[in-house]
Amino acid sequence: MSNIIVFENKIAKYDNCPDIYFINENLSIKDISNFFSVRDLKKIKFYLSKLNKNKRKERIIDFDLSEKKKIIFIIIKKSLLSFDLEQLGAKLFSFLKKADVYKVNLFCASFKKSSNSKTGQNDKNILDFIHGANLKSYSFKKYRTKSPDNFKLKIKIISPEYKILSKKYFRYKAIEEGVNLTRNLVSEPPNILHPKYYVETIKKLSSLGLKISIYDENKMKKMGMNALLGVGQGSINKSYLVTIEWNGNKNSKEKPLAFVGKGVCFDTGGISLKPAKFMEEMKYDMAGSAVVVGLLKTLALRKVKLNVVGVVGLVENMPGGNAQRPGDIVKSYSGQTIEVLNTDAEGRLVLADVLTFTEKEFKPKFIIDLATLTGAIIVSLGEEYAGLFSNNDDLSKKIFQSGNKVGEKVWRLPLHKNYNKLMDSTVADVQNINYSGGAGSITAAEFLQRFIINKTPWVHLDIAGMAFSKKAANLNPSGATGFGVRLLNKLIEDSYE
CA distance 377 to 462: 7
Tell me how far apart the alpha carbons of residues 240 and 220 are, in angstroms, rounded to a whole number.
Answer: 8
DSSP 473: B
Q: Any catalytic annotation for residue 302?
A: no
Q: Report residue 95: phi and psi, to 5°.
A: -60, -45
CB atoms under 10 Å from CB of 392, counted, come to 15
Query: Percent helix, strand and coil across the chain, each rounded to 5?
Result: 40, 20, 40
Annotated active-site residue 348? The verdict is yes
Virtual CA dihedral for 175, 358, 237, 444, nearest 10 degrees? -90
Q: Of how many residues is the chain composed?
A: 497
Neighbours of 425 (CB within 10 A): 15
Contacts of 496 (CB under 8 A, 6+ apart): 257, 306
Q: CA dist 221 to 217, 235, 313, Å? A: 6, 16, 14
The whole-angstrom separation of Cα 288 and Cα 186 is 9
Residue 89's closest CA among 78, 74, 102? 74
From the list 79, 96, 165, 76, the residue with the least C-alpha distance to 127 is 165
Catalytic option among 136, 348, 486, 490: 348
Annotated catalytic residue: which of 274, 365, 405, 409?
Answer: 274
DSSP 8-state secondary structure symbol assigned to residue 483: T
In the chain, what is the straight-line distance between the N-terminal and C-terminal CA atoms, in Å?
Answer: 31
Residue 288: which of 186, 146, 168 has the closest Cα?
Answer: 186
**Closest C-alpha to 353, from 377, 374, 376, 369:** 369
Helix and strand numbers (H, E) in the chain are: 16, 19
Strand order in the sheet with 70-76: 4-8, 154-158, 103-107, 19-24, 70-76, 60-64
Catalytic residues: 274, 348
